[in-house]
Structure 1
Amino acid sequence: MKTIGKLFLTLAVLAFVCTGAMAGTLEKVQKDGQLILGVSEGVAGFSAPDSNGRWAGFDVDMGRAVAAAVLKDPEAIKFVPLASKQKIVAVSSGQVDLSRGTTWTMKRDCKQGVDFTAVLFYDGQGFMVKKSLGVEKALDLDGGSVAVVSGTTSELNVADFARANGIKLETVVFESKKEAFNAYVAGRTDAFTTDVSQLASLRAGAANADQHIILPEVFSKEPLAPFVRHGDQQWKDLVTWILFGLIEAEEKGITQANVLEMKASSTDPLIQRMLGATGDTGSLLDLDNDWLVRAIQAVGNYGEMYDRNFGPKSALNIPRGYNNLWNKGGLIYAMPIR
């Protein structure tokens, strides 16, 4: 019995040590003085180098908000481009501290060593075809071929769509979105499929963009969320509440331009608490009370981020739709900061 007791004690100690070893991303980032951010290999609107080689996009802005809150420097980021099939392993293994938004699924959340934070962007999968194909709806693709990227949810979604609708689709799998898209453009497949936002992004950057159309059907739910290594609850909480703070800032009319004025003059108790004029929200994240002020100064509120990367003044011009605030007909909703 004593031997068994010692065995259980040893296992318990090992479990405690392993759990402790998994924690500490905040301390690591602060010690290193930089955030290692996993980004795409180049998807305009989400993460791609601009004409000056500076990374830009919605996912990049989220990373800069985290770096500003944690390190007081939104530029203290090392960007690591990752193919779709690499992004989960890169986070679970600790290669990167935070990864670009990806579809939050049961399998990924439960069995692949990562934890999702909160939804950054609501998306859905669709098809792109050339106008010359004469296809007006997805069911017209029956018997055709579709380019798809490996390591994504797209493969299963296409198979489910075809089976549910009694049609046949041949999927041709490629390692990266760029490779899949180029194969489609070259005529190797009849269609290309991925999230609708990325279809719009790739079309916008293509030669003769007006020759490609996105079919009207959206046939999957793709809630895109930043994710972190499983087991590091402190880091997960921090990233989650920075995102909620940016959303709440839009709802309260706090912008990149007026955040300091709002902190100094607002009499709204919630705004005072959010911006650190009262209360002590920073202690809940192991940060100081200006954590959200710095994040907003770096990238603006959620709406400003959206407009900059997807709005009418961007190359994509994607209507907000589901990505509008909950009180404006969308699904974007922050948990209470209190």
Structure 2
Amino acid sequence: MNNSVFFGALTVAGLAAGAAAAGTLDDVKARDQLNCGVSTGLVGFSAPNANGEWEGFDIAVCRAVAAAVLGDPNKVEYVPTTGKTRFTALASGEIDMLARNTTWTFSRDVDLKFEFAGVNYYDGQGFMIPKELGVSSAKELDFATVCIQTGTTTELNLADFFRANNITYEPVPIETNAEARQQYLANACDVYTTDASGLAATRATFDDPGNHVILPEIISKEPLGPLVRHGDNEWGDVVRWTLNALVGAEELGITSANLAEKAAGTENPEINRLLGTEGNLGEMLGLDADWAQNALSAGGNYGEIFAKNIGEDTPVGLARGLNAQWTDGGLLYAPPFR
């Protein structure tokens, strides 16, 4: 008797968990729109262009997920969030996912109850200063005033770094990157610290970027990536494997230029499984067979997205570095599509 009650309770719990997990994917399909949390504006990563259209490296992830699920990369509502508001927006269901240069940490994963879907940019925290200060190392920043975004890992890393090096600083708290840029250029702070990619993106918007130096020290690990709510496993799989599809396609040599040709069928079984001409990966995700084709048609593979938005030929000017494929000495590695 006790056993049957126990198993009955398990079944109810299982059904409840199943209902919760199915929620977001069903909601997005029913709404016919993805609500994607992004930054308030970081050039190259997520910012509105001159026509008011959002674009950038993180925006490309939102677009790829919308294309995979809804067949159209334009079916996205972008919700700007700050370092402080982003987690509340996700936890409350205001957004379906967050794609906003957010660092994967233990407490965010475990204590805040989010699920990181992977890493789309391996980063680290750096420091930017006016060249005229003549400082060549972050360890020379004793008594500096530092612009810092509240509610970020940057805040904690900064305190750790200065304490470890027995130097002091005065924080100038700011909410958004735009505010940091304004305060820094107005000399309200000597230093701006955030992820090195964010510093490069911000510097690219200056009238005289050459007058500002990003110091050599990288003081932290900042694996940045998209995230969803805990218990949202089915939706988490969709976001995770869409990101993996962008990364895996680059390794497999699938580009926006040859996508149609590869989608007609190839000699490589993994390409065929990814693009839906063999197997049933789409069905496993609750999506159409051509989900990955749709995701890749939104903006190309990972390398194309990187080059277009933040690569060395853009004003942001970032080298691939750690974000090269594992086959080229980087950390990018998509699990097998099988």
TM bin, normalised by shorter chain, reads over 0.9
SS at 1:103 equivalent = coil
User: 3-state SS of the aligned residue for 1:84?
Assistant: coil
- 2: CA distance between counterparts of 1:158 and 1:232? 33
Alignment-derived partner of residue 175 in structure 2? 175
Which residue in the other structure is 2:47 paired with?
48
Post-superposition Cα deviations, 1:61-108, rounded to whole Å, max 9, x if no partner, equal 111111111000110011111111111111111100111141000110
Corresponding residue of 1:115: 115
Secondary structure (helix, strand or coil) at the match of 2:159 reads helix
Name the SS of the counterpart of 1:213 in structure 2: strand
Are the aligned partners of 1:92 and 1:230 in contact in 2 as well (CA < 8 Å)?
Answer: no
1:231-246 matched pairs, under 5 angstroms: 231-246=231-246
Equivalents in 2 of 1:261, 1:9: separation in Å?
A: 52
Match of 2:87 in 1: 88
Q: Normalising to structure 2: TM-score of the pair?
A: 0.94
CA deviation map 1:113-154 (0-9, x unaligned) = 311101010011000100111111101101211110001111
SS of residue matched to 1:63: helix
**Greater shift after overlay, 85-94 or 29-38?**
85-94
Matched-pair contact (CA < 8 Å) for 2:21–2:234 = no
d(CA) in 1 for partners of 2:19, 2:274 = 30
Tell me the equivalent position of 1:219: 219
Does residue 278 of structure 1 match 2:278? yes
1:154 counterpart residue number: 154
Change (3 A) 1:279 1:17: closer
Partners of 2:285 and 2:17 in 1: CA distance = 22
Q: Report the equivalent of 2:56.
A: 57
Paired residue for 1:66? Answer: 65
TM-superposed deviation, 1:257: 1.5
**1:172 match: secondary structure:** strand
Q: Provide the residue aligned with 1:297 in structure 2.
A: 297
Bigger shift: residues 19-28 or 217-226:
19-28
Q: Residues 10 and 263 (structure 1 numbering): CA distance in 2 closer, same or farther, change over 3 Å?
A: closer
Structure 1 counterpart of 2:164: 164
* Conservation of the 8 A alpha-carbon contact between 1:129 and 1:190: yes
State the identity as a percent: 47
Q: Could you tell me how far apart the structure 2 residues matched to 1:292 and 1:10 are?
A: 38
Q: 1: CA distance between counterparts of 2:276 and 2:231?
A: 28
**CA distance in 1 between partners of 2:115 and 2:107 (Å):** 11
| Off by >2 Å, runs of 4+ in structure 1 | 5-23
One-letter amino acid of the counterpart of residue 77, structure 2: K
Q: Secondary structure at 2:225's aligned position in 1? A: strand
Residue 184 (structure 1) aligns with: 184
Q: What is the one-letter code of the residue matched to 1:62?
A: V
Q: Which residue of 1 aligns with 2:36?
A: 37
- Look up the match of 1:253: 253
Unmatched tracts of structure 2, length 5 or more: none
Measured in 1, the distance between the counterparts of 2:190 and 2:183 equals 10
In structure 2, do the counterparts of structure 1 residues 272 and 13 end up closer, same or farther at CA, with 3 Å as the change threshold?
closer
Q: Distance in 2 between matches of 1:287 and 1:23?
A: 13
Mapped to 2, the partners of 1:106 and 1:182 lie a distance apart of 32
Task: For 1:48, give the aligned amino acid.
Answer: A
- After superposition, residues 13-32 of structure 1 pair within 5 angstroms as 13=12, 17=16, 20-21=19-20, 23-32=22-31
Cα 1:263–1:34 change in 2 (3 A) is same
Structure 1 residues 138 and 322: CA distance shift in structure 2, 3 A: same
Q: CA deviation at 1:316?
A: 0.9
Q: Is the 8 A contact 1:257 1:297 kept in 2?
A: no
SS where residue 24 of structure 1 aligns? Answer: helix
**Cα shift readout 1:208-240 (whole Å, capped 9, x = no counterpart):** 222111111110100001000111000001110
Q: Cα–Cα, structure 1 residues 281 and 136, in superposed 2: closer, same or farther, change >3 Å?
A: same
CA distance in 1, matches of 2:335, 2:196: 27
1:205 is matched with which residue? Answer: 205
Alignment match, 2:316: 316
For 1:89, give the aligned amino acid: T
Contact 2:20 2:232 (8 Å CA) reproduced:
no
Deviation of 1:265 after TM superposition, in Å, equals 4.2
Answer yes or no: is the 8 Å Cα contact 1:23–1:231 preserved in 2. Answer: no
- CA distance in 2 between counterparts of 1:119 and 1:293 reads 21
Gaps of 5+ in 1: none
3-state SS in 2 of match to 1:44? coil
SS of residue paired to 1:38: strand
User: What displacement does 1:270 show?
Assistant: 1.0
